[in-house]
Amino acid sequence: MKYLFFGTPEFAAIILEKLINAGFIPSAVVCNPDKPTGRKKIITPPLTKLLAIKYNIPVLQPEVLSIFNFQFSISNFDFFIVASYAKILPKEILEIPRFGTIGVHPSLLPKYRGPSPIQAAILNEEQETGVTLFLLDEKVDHGPVLENRKQKIENSDNYKTLHNKLAELGGDLLIETIPKFLREEIKSQPQDESQATYTKKFSAEDGFVGFKDLEKAQKDGGQIAIEVERKIRALNPEPGVWTIKDGKRMKILEAELMPDKTLKLKKIQFEGKKPVSI
């Protein structure tokens, strides 16, 4: 078994570590270049790179994907795995592995294609979501499905908890599926295009809550409280949920929907200050 693993953030790192621990060790890890992060803009390596270094796995960090990046063993790969890589693999790279390229997407495709399926599922009050393994083609989250697995969304789930559950589920599903995939025991199924929905990349503007709406959610409750609480669970830590109070930007980090359907703020942070529990 010879494969490359493409992925950069925590979602990919959780999956990669599960694969390594199960003996599915990639020939190399392909991730985005190191980038400046935080207020001090410290150059920081991706989590998948750190994991690869820990296990003495070679790392590739191309700025631009090109077939020349993979010339070191171009004809011997059985498959690739792509999980949260954030770059579209061109046709000439997709054609390298013998069995194809497996994508890992945290939704039940064709629903919630695109960059923000976890946030979208919480915002839309879905009762369940899941992970899909599919064969990549040149379109975004479009190829035929190999396997999927459902995941219940709890009322207490936020982006972080649901993200981690889906990453763990994705790793487990890969471990279960890869041997059958290599034995050609799985018949892929085309996605139903009539059922396809798409997500967008959320911006800071999407996380804004008017202060009057926030006050109403706390005092009167009802639908506005439900919507604000859902937004807080879905959009933290990035891009974050915030309002303007007394001319100052205030982040809303945690909140709870009470039995009477009013909103109770639990943790806030004013600009330039430390988070405060209330």
Is 107 labelled a binding residue?
yes
Q: Is 94 annotated as a binding residue?
A: no
CA pair distance 147, 169, nearest whole angstrom: 12
60 is in an annotated binding site: no
Report which residue type is found at 271. Answer: E
What kind and span of H or E run contains 16?
Answer: helix 10-21
Task: Check if the beta carbon of residue 124 is closer than 8 Å to that of residue 99.
Answer: no
Instruction: Say which residues have a Cβ less than 8 Å from residue 259's Cβ, sequence separation at least 6.
Output: none
225 contacts: CB under 8 Å, gap ≥ 6? 216, 217, 218, 257, 261, 262, 263
The answer on whether 109 is annotated among ligand-binding residues is yes
β-partners of residue 152 are 128
CA distance 266 to 123: 20
Tokens of 25: 């060790």
Binding-site sequence positions for (6S)-5,6,7,8-tetrahydrofolate: 107-110
Binding-site sequence positions: 107-110
